[in-house]
A and B are shown apart, each in its own frame.
Chain A
Amino acid sequence: NAGVTQTPKFRVLKTGQSMTLLCAQDMNHEYMYWYRQDPGMGLRLIHYSVGEGTTAKGEVPDGYNVSRLKKQNFLLGLESAAPSQTSVYFCASSYADTQYFGPGTRLTVL
Chain B
Amino acid sequence: GQQVMQIPQYQHVQEGEDFTTYCNSSTTLSNIQWYKQRPGGHPVFLIQLVKSGEVKKQKRLTFQFGEAKKNSSLHITATQTTDVGTYFCAGPLVNFNKFYFGSGTKLNVKP
* A residues at B contact (CB < 8 Å): 31, 33, 35, 40-45, 48, 50, 56, 58-59, 90, 92, 94, 97-104
Distance A48 CA – B104 CA, assembled complex (angstroms) = 21
Asked if A99 contacts B48 (CB within 8 A), the reply is no
A-B contact count (CB 8 A): 54
Asked if B42 contacts A50 (CB within 8 A), the reply is no
Asked if B98 contacts A97 (CB within 8 A), the reply is no
Asked if B45 contacts A50 (CB within 8 A), the reply is no
Asked if B48 contacts A45 (CB within 8 A), the reply is no
* B residues at A contact (CB < 8 Å): 1, 6, 9, 31, 33, 35, 41-45, 48, 88, 90, 92, 97-104
In the complex, the chain A residue whose C-beta lies closest to that of B45 is: A98
Asked if B97 contacts A50 (CB within 8 A), the reply is yes
> What residues of B have a CB within 8 angstroms of the CB of A50 in the complex?
97
